[in-house]
């Protein structure tokens, strides 16, 4: 097979998809998978038969992976919760970066011990914790909490997905409300993955530089675009970007990872480092940036593809973009098969697949390379990239958000270059402002101007006739 990873990725995803609603004992799937694996080993000399058995094995492997996430162990924290009215005491450590505002602090707690009444039990699993007021907590910190445990609420949206489904996809089965300061005990111990702790510490330092001189609007937008913190984005701006079909600008994705990689490689080249050294440092930096921005699906996809590209540069081999994308696809689904049903996962991969398939065909159809004027070629390339992404994502946006935005192609042509300038300026503020405080206000004012321009342009576009309309 020319692109074996593509075939494996499709078969694995089909197994996850088809067995999502089908009730089959996981033991049956294990037996089928082991049997097919044995048949593969016995038929290695017969290529066609081997390929058939291997295809069925990968298909059922996807089903096993999905069913395995649906089976909870006897020590899972949700198995010990009998009533939402009784208070429980939980010991564990913070598994993500806490988010705080003036009203509450929320984070995911990786549980270790649960106590109900006089009985204590070792446990596992994640819970979403909500505390009243702002608390200065950090990733990896060990805590003892007292509060009520309850299951996330259901209630289906237009897409048929609920908030409970959203949390289940992230391995969170319970929520906990902690009402008073006395119900929170900090153990002053640190757990977690050390590279992620370092990345989040670095993120905190970058936030201080970024937020010191900028307006609240710029803080929200740049916090989302550069650091992956979307909770500070004003609701009006979020809705406006959704209407224009440019909400992807506020999500750290391939565009932002590409900018970070380019800046790192450019700086390292100015310092005179060899290509091999530049590539290794860039790979390490991109992994840290992935942890810094929350390890979301678009970032993981873009980081894996960038790492493959950089490794190809080191090994002096040209990587195949389809196999690279398939490897990222498989990596994410092996860790969490339920991501296949996440809208962010679907939009991210649909956009890249569409670019790979439609964009070259559009260029060949209109023979772009034969156009003499460079400016016209550049403009048409931008149109084709925007159109390719729109063709792939409009179906998902119509389904999940009940919206259709014809203005998206035009909006991307204008807003994406603005977003690139804004992102570059934001990173410049962080890097230069961190060392030369006197230059920070100049760069901050430039960031404020670019964000304000972005808001005005997007508002103008969504107010055009037939720019967008709701479905149903």
User: Is the C-alpha dihedral spanning 394, 292, 66, 32 positive or negative?
Assistant: positive
* Pairing assessment for the beta strands 184-190 and 141-150 based on DSSP bridges: antiparallel
For the chain, which residues make up each domain, given as ranges?
Answer: 4-70, 77-192, 250-341
What's the token pair of residue 369? 């390379």
User: What count of residues does the chain have?
Assistant: 472
| 152 SS3 class | coil
CB atoms within 10 A of CB 369: 8
| Enclosing H/E stretch for 122 | strand 119-122
| Enclosing H/E stretch for 150 | strand 141-150
Tokens 């395995």 sit on residue: 68
Tokens 């008073």 sit on residue: 180
pLDDT at 154: 65
* Pairing assessment for the beta strands 126-132 and 172-178 based on DSSP bridges: parallel
Sorted by sequence, the CB contacts under 8 Å of residue 451 that are 6+ apart come out as 215, 217, 218, 221, 222, 422
| 76 SS3 class | strand
User: What is the rounded distance in angstroms from the CA atom of residue 171 to the CA atom of residue 16?
Assistant: 17
**Low-confidence residues in the chain, pLDDT < 70:** 1, 154-161, 472
Which CATH homologous superfamily contains domain 77-192?
A: Nucleic acid-binding proteins (2.40.50.140)
Model pLDDT for residues 381-426, shown as the tens digit of each residue: 777 888 888 888 888 888 888 888 889 888 888 888 888 899 989 9
The CA angle 246-252-255, to the nearest 5 degrees, is: 75
pTM, two decimal places: 0.87
pLDDT at 155: 57
| Enclosing H/E stretch for 92 | strand 87-94
Whether 217 contacts 455, CB under 8 Å: yes
Model pLDDT for residues 19-49, shown as the tens digit of each residue: 988 888 889 999 999 999 999 999 888 888 9
């Amino acid at each position: 097979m020319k692109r074996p990873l593509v075939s494996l990725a499709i078969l694995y995803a089909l197994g996850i998809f088809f067995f999502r609603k089908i009730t089959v004992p996981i033991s049956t799937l294990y037996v089928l998978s082991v049997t097919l694996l044995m048949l593969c080993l016995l038929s290695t000399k017969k290529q066609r038969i081997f390929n058939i058995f291997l295809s069925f094995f990968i298909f059922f492997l996807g089903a096993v992976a999905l069913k395995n996430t649906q089976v909870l162990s006897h020590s899972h924290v949700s198995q010990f919760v009998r009533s939402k009215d009784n208070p429980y005491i939980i010991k564990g450590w913070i598994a993500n970066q806490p988010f705080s505002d003036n009203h509450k602090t929320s984070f995911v707690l990786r549980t270790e011990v649960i106590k109900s009444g006089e009985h204590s039990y070792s446990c596992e699993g994640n819970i979403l914790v909500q505390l009243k007021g702002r608390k200065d907590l950090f990733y990896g910190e060990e805590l003892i909490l007292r509060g009520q445990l309850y299951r996330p609420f259901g209630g289906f949206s237009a897409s048929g997905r609920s908030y409970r489904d959203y949390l289940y996809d992230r391995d969170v089965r319970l929520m906990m409300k902690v009402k008073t300061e006395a119900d929170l005990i900090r153990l002053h111990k640190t757990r977690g993955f050390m590279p992620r702790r370092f990345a989040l510490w670095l993120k905190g330092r970058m936030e201080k530089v970024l937020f010191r001189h900028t307006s609240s609007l710029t803080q929200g937008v740049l916090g989302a675009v550069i650091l992956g913190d979307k909770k500070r984005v004003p609701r009006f701006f979020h809705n406006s970007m959704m209407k224009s079909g440019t909400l992807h600008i506020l999500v750290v994705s391939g565009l932002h990872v590409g900018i970070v990689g380019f800046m790192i490689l450019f700086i390292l080249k100015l310092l005179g480092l060899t290509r091999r050294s530049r590539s290794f440092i860039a790979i390490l930096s991109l992994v840290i940036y992935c942890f810094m921005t929350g390890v979301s699906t678009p970032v993981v996809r873009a980081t894996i593809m960038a790492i493959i590209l950089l490794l190809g540069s080191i090994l002096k081999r040209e990587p195949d973009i389809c196999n690279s994308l398939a490897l990222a696809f498989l990596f994410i689904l092996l860790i969490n098969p339920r991501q296949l049903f996440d809208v962010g996962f679907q939009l991210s991969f649909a956009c890249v697949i569409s670019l790979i398939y439609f964009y070259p065909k559009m260029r060949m159809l209109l023979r772009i390379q034969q156009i003499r004027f460079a400016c016209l070629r550049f403009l048409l390339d931008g149109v084709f990239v925007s159109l390719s992404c729109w063709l792939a994502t409009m179906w998902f946006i119509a389904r999940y958000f009940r919206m259709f935005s014809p203005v998206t192609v035009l909006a991307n042509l204008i807003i994406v270059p603005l977003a690139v300038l804004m992102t570059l300026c934001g990173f410049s503020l962080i890097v230069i402002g961190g060392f030369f405080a006197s230059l920070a206000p100049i760069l901050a004012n430039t960031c404020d101007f670019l964000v304000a321009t972005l808001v005005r342009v997007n508002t103008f576009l969504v107010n055009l006739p037939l720019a967008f309309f709701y479905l149903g």
